[in-house]
Amino acid sequence: MTDDSRIDTDDAVFPRRPAGSMKRQLAIGAGWMTGLQLLSKVIEIGFIAVLARILFPADFGVIAGAAIFIQLASLLVEVGIGATIVQIPNLTRTDLRIGGTIVVLNGVGYFTLAQVLAPFAGDFMGIPGTEPVIRVLALVFIIQSFGIVSENVLVRDLEVRRVMVAQLMSRVIGTGVIGIALAWAGLGYWALVVATLAETSIKATWLVLLVRPPMRPLLTRPGAARLMRRGAGFSLAKVINFFALRADNAIVGRTMDAAALGLYSRAYNLMNVPADLYSRIAERIVFPAMAKVQDDPVRLRSAFLRGLELTAVFGLPISALLALLAPEVILFILGPRWVEVIVPFAVLCSVTYLRLGTKVSGSLQRAKAATGAMITNQIVYAGMVIGGCLIAYPHGIVAVATAVSIAVVAFYLIVNYNACRLAGVGLRDFARVHGHGALLALACTLAAAPVVFGMRAAGGLPPIAILGASGAAIAVLGVILIVWRPRWLLGAFVIELLGDAGRATDRFRKRKARS
């Protein structure tokens, strides 16, 4: 498919916003991203709480079994085109047309392949209902392919607010309205299937209408080679990472049953909420920002260290508190039917920060197009997860969660070692930027633990009461820290960000008062 009459005009460089102040762009983008993503996660957890009281573990197990194959193929559909659009220095309209054509053709191809391979996938999982669910969910490949170019054009320009709004609204309509209504009507796991298709359709349509990218098909050998050469490494690293992240689900589903997979997948998905939140920030803020300064070693090193420090300040306390409050979190969100999720959830939460800590380092490697290191990291991680789960599964889902957690520790060390070499960061600087986060995690734990253990010892108190009381203790600590701003605890960078936020709030109030 070619259109030679348009190639010359389409070769003009696609407009891109100038780099500007890295700190300001990161602060604004991360602010919007964090706020909208938090809202999205709160809404998503609310939907999970409702659906967990309507559906059964086996229903979620069927979807989790099918999702392993669907999510893998979804990564292959993109073939790294999205990351290439963000990372490539001189992006043209021709690149967008060729990239869009490639992903749509891939989407159609993988939909067809799914129809052929669905029986084999169903037999492998051994879970009734997996095969027809895979056949229907395969429509996602075609639907999502139309929005990939638009989404990554927005990410390239750090316009993550628009991406997040599209994602949030599609989730509210797809899962919140359509999915819950169909589950209440008794459709079981098919309610989740329809909700997924609706959510994907709404998001893709929304993004295309926002960006209005050139969508006329175009495919030339030089243009495809230019994109695929860069995208192949990104895509391969993502695929290997997928096996690492989903091998535990596949092994649990293959060796146990739908109910066990439903329990384990709920524990994993809830534990992964903070990591997913931060990975979106890393994917849509940190990676494109680092890509803009990939040839400026000083600014790249500074961005890397600040990203690590900010991650530690937020991630370490979250990891500690989730592990501490695991029983209350599970009982409040999922209900007493899911009590078996508590222990594996606590085990997985104990390494939540380490999952977060790989995101900034991974973004640095992607910005520098260090695909060799990325692929090596993912191969080691996938091998440890698969090997550990194969050893652990006879002992139940708690043992599987422990094996996965050990693999996460090793992956964290490998990824950060490679990233530090790329950025020219020594062990002392790496440890230093984690110090304030470790102290803050200790302070939060000391504030919440007496409340939690005291209320548990009293007995008979609902989970929401314990969560509320511990949340109040953390909030009091937070107010004290914001007012007092101890540099030894928060660090100079976080205090600087708090000052910037305060000044921005004052400017907004003054403008509002004048208007």
Q: What pLDDT, on the 0 to 100 scale, is given for residue 4? A: 38
DSSP string, 70-130: HHHHHHHHHTTHHHHHHH-SS-BHHHHHHHHHHHHHHHHHHHHHHHHHHHHHHHHHT-TTH
254, 124 Cβ separation under 8 angstroms: yes
Taking 50 as the threshold, does the pLDDT of residue 424 lie above it?
A: yes
DSSP string, 225-286: HHHHHHHHHHHHHHHHHHHHHHHHHHHHHHHS-HHHHHHHHHHHHHHHHHHHHHHHHIIIII
Taking 70 as the threshold, does the pLDDT of residue 148 lie above it?
A: yes
Dmax (CA) of the chain: 78
Higher pLDDT, 222 or 440: 440
Q: What is the pLDDT of residues 85-133, one digit of tens each?
A: 776 777 788 888 888 888 888 889 889 988 988 898 888 888 888 899 9
What's the rounded Cα separation, in Å, for the pair 276 and 405? 16
What's the rounded Cα separation, in Å, for the pair 384 and 398? 17
Residue type, 90: N
Rg (CA), the chain: 23
Tokens, residue 121: 């996938």
Q: What is the mean pLDDT of residues 130-146?
A: 91
> How far does CA 147 lie from the centroid of its chain?
18
Q: What is the mean pLDDT of the chain?
A: 80
Taking 60 as the threshold, does the pLDDT of residue 20 lie above it?
A: no
Q: Which of 57-66, 294-303, 421-430, 474-483 has the lowest mean pLDDT?
A: 294-303
Q: What pLDDT, on the 0 to 100 scale, is given for residue 15? A: 54
Q: What is the mean pLDDT of residues 208-227?
A: 82
Q: What pLDDT, on the 0 to 100 scale, is given for residue 514? A: 60
Q: What is the mean pLDDT of residues 202-211?
A: 91
HSE-CB for 155 with a 13 A CA cutoff = 27
Q: What pLDDT, on the 0 to 100 scale, is given for residue 500? A: 55
Report the DSSP beta bridge partners of residue 209. Answer: none
Taking 80 as the threshold, does the pLDDT of residue 315 lie above it?
A: yes
Q: What pLDDT, on the 0 to 100 scale, is given for residue 80? A: 65
> How far does CA 512 lie from the centroid of its chain?
35
pTM of the full structure:
0.67
Which among 33-37, 104-108, 309-313, 445-449 has the top mean pLDDT? 445-449
Q: What is the mean pLDDT of residues 337-349?
A: 88
Residue type, 11: D
HSE-CB for 88 with a 13 A CA cutoff = 26
The candidate with the shortest Cα–Cα distance to 278, out of 208, 361, 369, is 361
Higher pLDDT, 173 or 265: 173
> How far does CA 494 lie from the centroid of its chain?
23
Taking 50 as the threshold, does the pLDDT of residue 6 lie above it?
A: no
Q: What is the mean pLDDT of residues 477-485?
A: 80
The candidate with the shortest Cα–Cα distance to 239, out of 35, 412, 76, 112, is 76
- CA dist 34 to 37, 41, 344, 460, 481, Å? 5, 10, 27, 36, 20
